[in-house]
Amino acid sequence: MYNFACCLLSNLVLLAAVHLVCWFVHAMRPDLSIPAERVFVGMIAIAFVFDAALTFLVFADATGPWQRYHPVSAFFARAVAYALAVTVALVHARRAAAKRAAREQGKSGKKSGKDSALVIETSPYSKSTLPM
């Protein structure tokens, strides 16, 4: 349980750090939008692969003081912590996107769909339009 809690806590701290870095990047360069959740999921995937490689290829057959840590049984607790942190990140991203969409819809004051589509006149001669 201790292994799970420490891994989950460190993953959530990493998630907060990635969000903070992406927020700073967006504040400095508004044209550059980095999705923090995708960066975090990528980092967790890489960490999970390295963790599995170390656990099953290096420490699984280790003798001596490493046997008391039960590396294989502890890996599954860490894997659940990785999955839970990714789930938290994705749920947070989905809620933020829904909140952002509701805010944008509230600002425009229009209904979504074809009624609120922007129409640009492309040629005054042919009276053609281009829905955006």
> Do the Cβ atoms of 79 and 48 come closer than 8 Å?
yes
> Do the Cβ atoms of 82 and 46 come closer than 8 Å?
no
> Do the Cβ atoms of 22 and 34 come closer than 8 Å?
yes
Q: What is the pLDDT of residues 72-96, one digit of tens each?
A: 778 888 999 999 999 999 999 999 8
- Cα dihedral across residues 115, 121, 127, 130: positive or negative: negative
pLDDT higher at 2 or 92: 92
Q: What is the pLDDT of residues 8-33, one digit of tens each?
A: 999 999 999 999 999 999 999 989 88
* pTM higher than 0.85: no
Q: Rounded CA gap, 15 and 22, in Å?
A: 11
